[in-house]
Structure 1
């Protein structure tokens, strides 16, 4: 059972890494589609990063109160809904709104699963955990590229839908 759970955690870290590099890959197409200035990408990145930092800072109390399983479930759900929000977003304002739960969810998953692995497994599993995040961060732009290579200017939306 411990090995099965570790595999699930590794898969969760792949999925945690997937959206982290999507915006950079999709922004050139998104920018034109939404008519946004170039610097808006930086605002989106910073909003996501701030959400991740805030979530990481308060997650200790949340994890103690609700447990790793519940926090991970809700956080993964928040992240998926935020990515769906990116898919459906009609404007930059909506992307900014969706960036908040994306960052909050990602930070809580990251902190919760890092804590769980640190407490319940050997140290080498922590290295593998972050290796699997890197796999996800590498696959994200590869997946998005398959969508933005098409003819439609809003094809980036389908990349976000698939990752969600």
Structure 2
């Protein structure tokens, strides 16, 4: 059971990196339709990175209060909801707003899973 759980955690880590690379490959198609500049992708990346940093810094308190399972569930829902919102966003403003929960969710789930593996598995 522990091996399967570790495999699921590894898959979660892999899925954490997918939104970052998808923005880079999708942006050349997205920006003309949104009426944004090509460089606006940098703004989105910075907002996601800021959310990741904030949630990573707060993760110790949040994990201690709610536990790894709840933090992971909420974070995955935030990330999935933000990605779904990205697909329907009509403008750059909406993408920036949705980048906030995307970053918060990504940072929290990363910290929660790292914490869990560090506490329950050997090097």
Distance in 2, matches of 1:96 and 1:90, equals 11
Q: In the alignment, is residue 103 of structure 1 matched against residue 103 of structure 2?
A: yes
Distance in 1, matches of 2:12 and 2:24, equals 21
Distance in 2, matches of 1:17 and 1:64, equals 25
Deviations 1:33-85 (A, max 9, x none): 11101221111000000000000000100000000000000000000000000
The 5 A counterparts of 1:8-19 are: 8-19=8-19
- Which residue does 1:80 correspond to in 2? 80
**RMSD of aligned Cα (Å):** 0.8
Give the TM-score normalised by structure 1.
0.73
Runs of 4+ in 1 over 4 A off after TM superposition: none
Gaps of 5+ in 1: 124-164
Deviations 1:77-116 (A, max 9, x none): 0000000000010000100010000000000010010111
Distance in 2, matches of 1:29 and 1:20, equals 16
Shift of residue 30, structure 1, vs aligned partner: 0.7
- Which residue does 1:7 correspond to in 2? 7
- Which residue does 1:70 correspond to in 2? 70
Distance in 1, matches of 2:11 and 2:24, equals 22
- Which residue does 1:37 correspond to in 2? 37
Distance in 2, matches of 1:64 and 1:112, equals 10
Give the TM-score normalised by structure 2.
0.97
